[in-house]
Structure 1
Amino acid sequence: MATSNGGLRNMTEGSPARHIVLFALPLLAGSFLQQLYNMVDSWVVGQYVGDAALAAVGIGFPVIFMFTSLFMGLANGGTVVIAQFYGAGELDRVRDAVDTIYTAFTFSAVPVTLLAVGLVKPILFLLRVDDAAYDDAWLYLTVVCAGLIGTIGYNLNAGILGGLGNSSTTLRFLAVAALLNIALDLILVLVCGWGVFGVAIATVVSQAFSWLYGLWYINRRYPQIAIRPFCRRFDRSLFGQIMGIGLPAGIQMSLVALGAMVVMSKINTFGKEFTAGYNVGYRLDQLAFLPVQSLSNAVTAFVGQNIGARRLDRARQGIRVTVVSSVVWSLLMAALLIPFGPNLVGLFSDTPAVIDAGAVYLRCIMPFYAIFAVMFSLNNAMRGAGESMFPMLDAIFSLILLRVPAVYFLANRFGSDYMYYGIGIGWMLGFTLSALYYLSGRWKRHGSLADRDRRA
């Protein structure tokens, strides 16, 4: 059965490759839209405000990601738990999971928002932001952090639908956000002349509207999983299962973002042109990685549903499809971005120093792209099976404990043109650990959450 109940996808039957691709395509389109409006942010400020503003907006992305990571972990844990219960046919527990997730959100969103706003200045100080970009970076981060609730709410909606095999509805929410964000960027920056403040307001308004539209649409289209933000139904045992998977994922994402901020601190010491070039190169890197990210998110839900249905054979088939597809795509992107990097960076800024800095970033990381794709795919697959501790530890060792010192060492010893090879060094360790752990088979030991839930 491919789909049922208006787009909810049962992935325990039929071709694994077909399910993964059909689930991944809307995720890919949605992620492309998300990156598109992020790149429009960068293009608008780079072309019509200046390189300092371009650097400021780029500085904000890892900081915002760090603040939202714990809630993204909650959404990720919800995806896995809901996928496993849905695969096991236990829709009443799916309903309980949805209520529990949103109850946790409503009680913690405001404190997290206040904390984020309060930490903006200390974080900018630690990042050693260039004086020319400091004021714009502070303004951008303060406004976006004040509106985090929309970003968090959108991710929760996406996580719930992802567990049910529905990625096409999430695409609808992102399309609304992307179109609104692009329109507001052009109006608030080009027409109103609000600069970085206009870009921040556009982001907050579009994310909040996408979240609220998502609530209305889900409740109207899928009454069986209607979201009731203030129902106060909270299952402690279920929340423990969700956080057992989601908390390590959230901590992982937060720490990776923190590591990226530490790397950014070093990047910022080379001046605003170098920072702006890195930000453009990073945007192109993120755009190129979207298909791998979408396939990996798809395999999380696929493995979750099939583990819930006790179909380990299908789970392994889906993992193989994802890894092979991700490697092929990564090799194609390396062949494109290494030779044409300067031309692509030049679309965002005509400053030679910015173009050179962006091209250096791409030239250093792209040779390692395929091994990172394997690491990313395997870790997401194992998380779908309920194995969340290993992916977190793998990320900490490879993306923080090795990558950050390697970047600093290479920058201090050989200069800025070589520092990004430290990223590839971290990816090599992560790939090695992921491959060995997957081959060991220990990720299969958790079994079906539905079975554990019945025993409890």
Structure 2
Amino acid sequence: MIVRMKKTTIMTEGSIWKKLLFFAVPLILGNLFQQLYNTVDSIIVGNYIGSEALAAVGASSSVVNLLIGFCIGASAGAGVVISQFFGARDKEGVRKAVHTTVALSIAAGIVMTIAGVLLTPLILRAMGTPAEVFSQAVTYLQVFFGGIVFSVIYNMAAGILNAVGNSKRSLVYLLIAACSNIVLDLLFVVVLKMGIIGAALATDISQLLSCIFILRFLMRTDEIYKLRFREIRFYDHLLGKILRIGLPTGVQNIVISLSNVIVQSTVNSFGAVVMAGFAAYIKIDGFNLLPVLSISMAATTFTGQNIGAGKLDRVKKCMITSVAMGVVYTVATGILLLAFAPQVIGVFTKNREVVECGVYIMRFFCPFYWMLAVLQILSGTIRGAGKTMETMFVFIISLCLYRIAWIWGAMSVKHSLDLLMMVYPTSWLVGAILILLYGWKGKWMPKIPKRD
């Protein structure tokens, strides 16, 4: 049987760094445009509604990441399963895994919508959100969660395309969604004066557009990952396999997001100015981090396909090449961000105190991003081998338990912003050391018998 694989990237042959780079670039661009959703909200909200509204959007970010992170983790499990089937040229396995993934995304999206709308006030109160921004934060989050199902389905569908090496198609749809988000933000907030509701509604509609476009493509393609509406269901053992690989990453993302909620809660204790400065820089942090995550995703797909094909030597070379790419990138961008710090933060607000606070916070992030690159990209390689439980423990220890211990310890000694911000680079260092040790000593590479 001849399996058609046009419009895909076959990572089991050819130059490793070129395969990683050309696959990662659309992912990088796509993730950057996706980050535009909340960033454009923040820029327009900060400049046309006010700093309190900007603080409300910032306080909402960690809550949004909490639930979306779980779904992204589940999609990582689906991506590993699909990429391994694809690398092994198993057409039937790809078909069943694709339809199981879409069924899972629909179910997860509905649950997340209901949970997000109902639990938003309780979560924001638990975070200690100040009274002056609480009402706007609740409104923004509840409207946002009203359309979260579209984001969930899109991201899971994009995970399908990424697993088979087609990272360019989802980029096109994100471009459309990002442009529509900007136009709708300006229409709803600036022209129609809908306030923070307009910003959240613009994001919902943009997510709906990206969801419609990607599902339409999957249903019309002639590739082996073609989606047929009548076949969307949970297939026998595949749901269990996807969840077994994806749940650890989902749990990891939830736990890390919870630690970020704790960090956000502590930031909230410093008042609205610090909240706004932190919110402004976290948007920049997202832009800088997403290319690293994209290289990590490329490494996961590369590993999955090559393990499916039994080419373990290429997996080892991928590990070194992808980490080197991430380190070079983060060192370069860290230098650039520090050089233009006031101008970068000034995009979000003209409030001088907020800008100064944002620039101060940048100094705790930019020089140390290379450590996070090592952690994320090496974890992505190991995750492609299906070892998500092991990477989960590394992330929970370094980016959750360590951060909680640091905050409780440091804040009990002195209620200081610099002590709080130090939690980021030190936790990245702990994570990088742990994943390097596991990558060196751990038995994560599968044993595949030689083929005749």
TM-score (norm 2): 0.95
Which residue of the partner structure matches residue 454 of structure 1? Answer: none
2:173–2:213 contact (8 Å) kept in structure 1: yes
SS in structure 1 of the partner of residue 234 of structure 2: coil
Contact between 2:106 and 2:153, CA under 8 Å: does it hold in 1? no
Question: Post-superposition shift, 1:390?
Answer: 1.2
Q: Deviations over 1:338-371 (max 9, x none)?
A: 3432231122112122112211221012232111
Question: 1:47 aligns to what?
Answer: 47
1:132-159 residue CA offsets vs partner (Å, 9 max, x unmatched): 1111100000011121110100111111
Partner of 1:393: 393
Once the 2 structures are TM-superposed, how far is the Cα of residue 385 of structure 1 from its aligned partner?
Answer: 0.8
Q: 1:201 to 1:94 in 2, by over 3 A?
A: same
Instruction: Please tell me the residue identity of whatever aligns with 2:234.
Output: F
Residues 57-110 of structure 1, C-alpha deviations (whole Å, 9 max, x = no match) = 112222112112222222111111110010011011000101112223334432
- Distance of 1:109 and 1:338 partners within structure 2: 38
Query: For this pair of structures, how many residues does the alignment match?
Result: 447
Letter in 2 for 1:427: W
Alignment correspondent of 1:136 = 136
Q: Structure 1 residues 178, 389: CA separation in 2 closer, same or farther (over 3 Å shift)?
A: same
Residues 274-353 of structure 1: matches in 2 within 5 Å?
274-353=274-353
Deviation of the 1:6 alpha carbon? 3.7
Specify whether residues 222 and 203 from structure 1 end up closer, same or farther in structure 2 by C-alpha distance, changes over 3 A only: farther
Tell me the SS of whatever aligns to 2:420: coil
Structure 1 gap ranges (5+): 452-456
Q: Does 1:192 align with 2:159?
A: no
1:98-247 superposed matches below 5 A: 98-222=98-222, 224-229=224-229, 231-247=231-247
Displacement, 1:404?
A: 2.8
SS of alignment partner, residue 185 of structure 1: helix
Matched-pair contact (CA < 8 Å) for 2:102–2:157: no
**Pairing 1:48-87 to 2, within 5 Å after superposition:** 48-87=48-87
Shift of residue 19, structure 1, vs aligned partner: 0.6
Instruction: Specify whether residues 446 and 53 from structure 1 end up closer, same or farther in structure 2 by C-alpha distance, changes over 3 A only.
Output: farther
Report deviation, 1:232.
4.7
> In 2, distance between residues paired with 1:247 and 1:107?
15
Distance 1:27 1:108, change over 3 A: closer
Aligned partner of 2:24: which letter?
A
Superposed displacement of residue 290, structure 1: 2.6
Q: How many Å apart are 1:394 and its aligned residue?
A: 0.8
SS at match of 1:442: coil
Conservation of the 8 A alpha-carbon contact between 2:365 and 2:425: yes
Cα distance between partner residues in 1 of 2:115 and 2:276: 28
- Report deviation, 1:411: 4.4
Distance across 1 between alignment mates of 2:69 and 2:290 = 18
The 8 Å contact of residues 71 and 108 in structure 2, kept in 1 or not, is answered as no
**CA distances 1:304-350 after superposition (whole Å, capped 9, x unpaired):** 10011111100111111111111111111222223432231122112
Q: Is the 8 A contact 1:82 1:94 kept in 2?
A: yes
- 8 Å CA contact 2:337, 2:366 repeated in 1: yes
Deviation at 1:231, TM superposition (A): 3.0
1:281–1:358 Cα contact (<8 Å) kept: yes
- Distance in 2, Cα, partners of 1:357 & 1:292: 25
What's the counterpart of residue 425 of structure 1? 426
User: For residues 258-317 of structure 1, what are the alpha-carbon distances to aligned partners after superposition, in whole Å with 9 as ceiling and x for unaligned?
Assistant: 111110000011111111100111111221223222111111100110011111100111
Quote the Cα distance in structure 2 between the aligned partners of 1:411 and 1:346: 29
Cα distance change on mapping 1:447 and 1:198 into 2, 3 Å: farther
Q: Within the alignment, does 1:258 sit opposite 2:262 as a pair?
A: no
Deviations 1:198-256 (A, max 9, x none): 01000111101210111112211345323235535322311111111111011111111
C-alpha spacing 1:133/1:97, structure 2 compared with 1 (3 Å):
same
* 2:421 counterpart letter in structure 1: Y
Paired-residue identity, %:
35
Q: Normalising by structure 1, what TM-score? A: 0.94
Read off the aligned partner of 1:102 and give its amino acid letter: V
Alignment correspondent of 2:413: 413
2:38 paired with 1:38: yes
2: distance between equivalents of 1:309 and 1:275?
49
Question: Matched residue of 2:364: which SS?
Answer: helix
Q: Does 1:271 align with 2:271?
A: yes
Q: Distance in 2 between matches of 1:119 and 1:360?
A: 33
Evaluate the alpha carbon distance shift between residue 222 and residue 198 of structure 1 in structure 2; reply closer, same or farther with a 3 A threshold.
Answer: farther
